[in-house]
Structure 1
Amino acid sequence: MSTSHAKFIDVQKALKGASYPARKDSLLKTAKENDADEAVMEALAALPDEDYDSPAGVSKAVGTGAP
């Protein structure tokens, strides 16, 4: 697996403590505070600027194969 792609578990860990619904800028701030790796930060930065209702919704938008 390429390390340039964010994994589901990494996205979930990066968003620990996020309040939902959340916008992209809030998700990026939370991920940075949680020391997310570069792949996760890039994936979140590429998201459309809209409201996300849950961690699973973010992972689905990122394309990590969320359930």
Structure 2
Amino acid sequence: MGVNAIQFQESLAGLDYPVSKEDLVRWAQETGVDTQTLKLLQSLPVERFQTPAEIGDAIIELS
């Protein structure tokens, strides 16, 4: 089951911060994000995120 971008962004707020990239990827697998999003999260260069905005910024930088 994939989630759309809005659902993904909203669900990021439910994570406990700071969050490691490893925990973010695990969370993504557990919540059923699509394969493309999962690969994107796995390729993020940052190892720890303080806020949902930091995750969003890192994703934008890869795009």
Same fold (TM over 0.5): yes
Shift of 1:48: 1.7
Unaligned ranges ≥5, structure 1: 1-6
More strand by share: 2
DSSP 3-state at the match of 1:63: helix
Shift of 1:12: 1.7
Corresponding letter in the other structure for 1:38: T
Number of residue pairs matched by the alignment: 58
- Root-mean-square deviation over aligned CA pairs: 2.4
Q: 1:59: which partner in 2?
A: 56
Q: 1:17: which partner in 2?
A: 14
Superposition TM-score, scaled by structure 2 size = 0.72
More helix by share: 2
Superposition TM-score, scaled by structure 1 size = 0.68
Corresponding letter in the other structure for 1:17: G
Q: 2:31: which partner in 1?
A: 34
